[in-house]
Structure 1
């Protein structure tokens, strides 16, 4: 999730709990071997054994279309001690697709196979190589073919976002098409897309037959979602709503501290409002804060108001409508 789920937000969300592994935002590979500092800048958790401060492993993700260049960069990351390599064949962004990357490669299963095979051969045998794909580019007619190409190339785990590039992020997600891939491949299969609630998670697992779930925007909007999913069915566990607004405050404050430490002042207010924009999907208090603060671009004043004026807002009586502006 380029431009959103960087290391500052990974830090906050993994502190919430329930997450077993993170994948970094993509590292774009074109025609050169990148220096160590580029990987360390995008995945600064490298200095902490590739773990967030909460102890959750972060697997770096590569995006590109040149098998040899991807392999060289994967080998360099492996030398840095990365816990695995992830390959991106799911990004729907036009600028990425125009330059031969992301979901547009799903029109070329042979190229997917060559990329997977080259990366697998370039890194130690015990290092996991995973991949994320969508159901296709313009349609999903080659979904199973693409999955098989990746697995036969050496991918040991496959994440499937249950929409095509053309479908972008528009509801619904077609979880039942992930089940077709499940029938074709034997590797662990992870389903992704349109999982906002515990009920969504249950429906996705039932429809897809997946081994695990990947949470993206749903976790950003409701940082307690992973814990709520894990707690389902446990009568002694916390209610399925996840974290309350009051319980979210320490995470917001740790996020703000990380933003202040790593982001230049002119961009800090934007990062805070960006997360608030997602949070208002689940928290009425976040909606009130976002409405009041959206035009304030002074980072210190904005943070002061958020953590004082809106921190003690009444707890929600029920979930906010699932609507995003």
Structure 2
């Protein structure tokens, strides 16, 4: 059976979303939003803020392990911060070499490092040597920055440096999130590496997952946007469940509202609920109607009132 991981997505898949989606089920592991490492050892509060699961044995309330992800360019500083994350209870360390954001790449983090194979090797080696042997060190990459010519070379360098596994998003930085995903390139990486490879990118349904497995020659998958669009996608892939009906999704939206407003002071709630509705529109026509109803609202309670009305209408129907 496949292992299914929940992908990190900055500003969207925070600890509250991880909690909710892992309660829905089907996931084996989560990865945090990235912890940005520059030239300093970060305080413990930074790790607790992005990964409060560290206070719960490194697991979500549903019991799914959460691995801290680090992003940066300096091997030694990444290594020192990896040690801190492990000491605080992270069950593993993930290294981000895939973020396509311009602000991140300009400061020499994320996908821009795919231009520098030696730097990838140095970072992974430093982190691997810094943390205990039983702690897995994974890396997430794209197929390249502007083209795919270094895809295999980069993956081999990461494996040679001691990584436990590699997650491959099957597009370059330049390709962003535009379809298609080039799953067949992941199979080329599989041919040249002897560590586990996890396929990621453009998996929106159980059918997509099966095609990805065949083309990538990978059994293990990481899903992100697809899980936001279809909250039980992991269970659809794992157990062949039908897609979650909209009435249940509407209940999740209400549940998430309580998380965000009362658990996180509601500062980001209006933007995050709109982002989530944006993804849900891919699978549910009702989400498009909801998005239109809330897109101009900036008050959290006003948005919750709209959600509550729609939820009650669904249950009456």
| Same fold? TM cut 0.5 | yes
The answer to whether residue 281 in structure 2 is matched with residue 273 in structure 1 is no
Structure 1 residue ranges without an equivalent (≥5): 233-237, 316-325
**Partner residue, 1:322:** none
Indicate the structure whose relative CO is greater, using CA pairs within 8 Å and at least 6 residues apart. Answer: 2
Alignment map for 1:56-95 (pairs within 5 Å): 56-95=64-103
Indicate if the aligned counterparts of 2:261 and 2:267 stay in contact, CA closer than 8 A. no
The answer to whether residue 168 in structure 2 is matched with residue 160 in structure 1 is yes
In 1, Cα distance between equivalents of 2:295 and 2:206: 30
Alignment map for 1:155-304 (pairs within 5 Å): 155-232=163-240, 238-239=241-242, 242-304=243-305
The partner residue of 2:53 within 29, 45, 58 is 45
The answer to whether residue 125 in structure 2 is matched with residue 124 in structure 1 is no
Q: Determine helix, strand or coil for the equivalent of 2:313.
A: coil
**Partner residue, 1:307:** 308
In 1, Cα distance between equivalents of 2:216 and 2:266: 44
Indicate if the aligned counterparts of 1:160 and 1:190 stay in contact, CA closer than 8 A. yes
Structure 2 residue ranges without an equivalent (≥5): 1-8
The partner residue of 1:141 within 139, 149, 154 is 149
Q: Per-residue deviation at 1:266?
A: 4.7
The superposition leaves residues 37-93 of structure 1 with CA deviations (integer Å, 9 ceiling, x where unpaired) of 100001011111111111111100000010000000001111112100000000000
How high is the TM-score relative to the length of structure 1? 0.92
Q: Per-residue deviation at 1:248?
A: 2.1
The answer to whether residue 27 in structure 2 is matched with residue 19 in structure 1 is yes
**Partner residue, 1:5:** 13
Q: Per-residue deviation at 1:312?
A: 3.2
In 1, Cα distance between equivalents of 2:312 and 2:291: 12
Q: Per-residue deviation at 1:211?
A: 2.9
Q: Determine helix, strand or coil for the equivalent of 2:138.
A: strand
Indicate if the aligned counterparts of 1:285 and 1:313 stay in contact, CA closer than 8 A. no
Q: Per-residue deviation at 1:261?
A: 2.5
Q: Per-residue deviation at 1:262?
A: 3.7
How high is the TM-score relative to the length of structure 2? 0.94
**Partner residue, 2:3:** none
In 2, Cα distance between equivalents of 1:225 and 1:266: 28
Cα 1:314–1:169, aligned 2, differ >3 Å: closer, same or farther? farther
Q: Per-residue deviation at 1:300?
A: 0.7
- Computed over aligned residues only, the root mean square deviation of the Cα atoms, in angstroms, reads 1.6
Q: Per-residue deviation at 1:310?
A: 4.5
In 2, Cα distance between equivalents of 1:54 and 1:169: 30
In 2, Cα distance between equivalents of 1:143 and 1:188: 16
Q: Determine helix, strand or coil for the equivalent of 1:186.
A: coil
Q: Determine helix, strand or coil for the equivalent of 2:67.
A: strand
In 2, Cα distance between equivalents of 1:86 and 1:33: 17
